[in-house]
Chain A
Amino acid sequence: MAMLRAPRGPGEPGSGTEPGQLTPLVIPGAGGLPTGLPLAGRGGIAGARALRRMARAITSNRKATAGMVLLVFFILVGLFPGVIAHDDPNAETYRRFMGLSLHHLLGTTALGQDMFAQVVWGARPVLLIAFGVGVGATVIAMLIGVASAYLGGVWDGGLSVITDVLLVIPLFPLLIVIGSYLHGAGTLVMIAVITATGWSYTARQLRAQALSLRNRDFLEAARVRGERSLYIIVVEIIPTMTSLIVASFLTNALYAVLFSSSLQFIGLGDPSVTSWGTMLYWAQNNEAFQVAPLWIIVPGLCIVSLGAAFALLNYAFDEIGNPALRPVRSMRGNRVKRPG
C-alpha cells in the first residue's frame, strides 16, 4: 500500500522556510486556502467548485462557446432528426442523382435516397459512437490511471506497462484487422472495439495527475480518519480531477468520431446504418466525383464540424487550465487610475 508522505511544517528542513526567517505574516483571509483540519469530502466540494468554474470559463472563452454551440446543435439534430428532415433516409424512392431543389436540399444519391435526410439522420450514429466511446474510454482510463497511481508499486508497474504497450501498437491497423475479422461492425461493436483500444492515451494523463495529488493534505486527512481506499479514490481524488476527466472525454470522443468515420469509409462499418462515414463510402463507390460532388463534401464537412466542436472545447480547456497559453493582451488603454 502506498505510504503518503507527512507534510512538512514551517521551519523543518525541506519545507522551504527556515527558522528565524520571515514566514509570511499574512493570516489567510478570504483569498487563501483554509488551514486547519480539512473537511470530509473536500474533494467533492472542490469538484462542485470546479464545475461552476468550468461553466463560467466556457462562457467567457470564445473558442469554448463556439465549440459548445456546435456540439449542442449536433446533439439537437441527433435527437430530433425527424423534425428537420421529412424523408426516410434509406428509402430509395426518388430518381438517382437529382440536382438541388426545395424538395431535395442536397439532391439525391445514386440509389435515389434523399441526401439531406441522410445527412441529418446520419448524425445520430456518429454521436452515439462519440459519446459511447467518450464515456467508456474515460471510465476505463480513470479506473486504470487512478488505481495505478494510488496503488503504486507492482500494480503501478504492471498497469503502466499494459497502458504503454497499447499506446504504442498502431491502433488503426489493429482496428482494421479486428474489423475484418468481424465482417461489418455495427454501432455497438464499433463502440466496444474503439473503446477497448483507445483508452490508453488518456489513462496516462490521468495517472500523472493522480500521482501529483497523492501527497496532498486532504488525502492524508482522509487516511487518518480511517477511510477505505475506495472511498478516498471515489469521493476525494476523482472529483478533484474533474477538469482532466472532462478533457479526457472530449479527446476520446473526438478520436471516436474520426476513427469510426474512417473505418466506415473503408467499408468496415455496418453498410445498412446511415452515418456520415458510410455515406462517404457509398459516395466513393458510386462515381460521386463526376456527378454529385456534394455527396462527398457535405458528410465530410459534418465530420469536421463535430470534430471541431470537440477539439475547440478541448483546446479551450487547455487554455483555461494553463493561463500562459491564452492570447496576450496589450497594455494600451488599461492604465490604473492613480491618485493625482
Chain B
Amino acid sequence: MRFVLRRLGFFVLTLWVALTLNFLLPRMMPGNPALAVIGKFRGGISPQAVKVLEAQFGVGSHQSLVSQYFSYLGNVATFKFGSSLTTQPGASVGRIVLDAIPWTLGLVGVTTVLAFVLGTGIGIVAAWRRGGRLDSIMPPLFVIMTVIPYFWLGLVLILVFGVKLKWLPYFFSYNYTLTPGFTPSFIGNVAEHAILPAFTLLITTIGTWILTMRNTMITTLAEDYVRMARAKGLPGYRIMLDYAARNAILPNLTGFAMSLGFVVGGAILIEVVFNYQGVGYMLLQAVNNLDYPLMQALFLLISVAVLVAILLSDIATAVLDPRTRGAK
C-alpha cells in the first residue's frame, strides 16, 4: 500500500511540474509568443480570445506572476482552455481535443498494447530457445529495427504500399467523402485507413520489447530458482511462464512505463505522416499555426495520459510482485 501511495505522490508532483512548465515556458522564451500571435492575426481574433491569450501569457497584465499562475491553475482545473485560434476559429479547445482523442486512443493505444504483448511473448520464446544461428542473427536485427525513425518507416511504407502498389490508403483516418457513423462500411473504412499507420508503429516499437524481454529472461533463466524448477521435474512451459517470465517481466513493466514517453513521440510523428487526425496531428497543426491555446491543452493532455499509464503500470507491478507490498 505504501508503495502505491508513494507512486501516487510522485504522480501528483510530476503533474504539477508539467502544469508549471506549461505556464512558464512561453514566458521564458525570447520575445513574447502571444505578441507574435496577436501580430500575426491582426484583427482576426475576437476580443474574447485576446483576453484569454493575455491571461495565459501575461501580456499587458498588471497582475503579478504569482497571481497569474494561480488564475492559470484555476482555469486548468475548470477545463477552461480558451478558444482555438485557427482550427475552426472560435471553437472551444476542449471540443477539438475531445474529438481528436478517440482516434489516437484507438490507433496508438491498441497498437502499443499489441506491440508490448507480442514483443514480450517473442522475447520470452527467443530466450527460452537459445543457441544456434538464430540467436546470433536475431538480436542485431532487432537492434537495427529499433533505430528506424518512426516517420521514415511511415514514408517508406506509403511509398511502397500506397503510391507504387496502391494497395492501401494513407491519408487521413477515413475517406472524408463518407459520413461518419457506426455503420459497418464506415468502420471497415476506418480499419483500412488504420492499417499502414498501425503497422508502422508496430514495427518500430516491437523491437525494443523483444530485446529487453529477451535480455531479462536470459538473466532470469540463470537464476537458482529456475534450476530448482527443473530439478522438480516441472514441465517446460510451466518453468518458462511461472518461474522465468513472471520474474523477468517485472523490470520490463517499469521500462514499459518509462518508454511510453517515446511511444507518444512516435505516435505524433506517425499521425503527422499519415495525416491521421489524432492528438499528435492536432498538436503539430497548433504548432505550425501558432495556435498556442490548443497547443498548451494538448501538451497537458499528453502529459497526463503518460503519467496515468505509468501509474497503472506501477499498480500492476505492485500486484504482480509480492515484495513491493507490505514491507518497504
Contact = CB atoms under 8 A, between A and B. Distances in A.
Interface stretch (A89-97, A210-218, A295-303): A295-303
A300 B30 CA distance: 33
Contacts of B156: 296-297, 300
Interface stretch (A27-35, A131-139, A150-158, A171-179): A171-179
Interface residues of B, number: 62
A261 B153 CA distance: 13
Nearest to A301: B152
A249 B245 CA distance: 31
A261 B147 CA distance: 12
Contact of B135 (A168, A307, A328): A328
Given A324-B222, A327-B136, A262 B143 contact: no
A304 B145 CA distance: 9
A171 B299 CA distance: 11
Interface in B124-143: 130-131, 135-136, 139-140, 143
Interface in A148-199: 161, 164-165, 167-174, 176-182
A290 interface: yes
A123 interface: no
B264 interface: yes
A interface secondary structure, majority: helix
A241 interface: no
B226 interface: no
B159 interface: yes
Interface stretch (A112-120, A230-238, A265-273): A265-273
B268 A172 contact: yes
Nearest to B261: A170
A35 to B, nearest CB: 29
A287 B182 CA distance: 34
**Which 6 residue pairs of A and B lie closest in terms of their CB atoms, listed nearest first?**
A172-B265, A307-B147, A300-B152, A170-B261, A180-B287, A181-B29
Interface of A: 63, 66, 161, 164-165, 167-174, 176-182, 201, 254, 258-259, 261-262, 265-268, 280, 283-284, 289-290, 293, 296-297, 300, 303-304, 307-308, 310-312, 315, 318, 322, 324-325, 327-328, 330
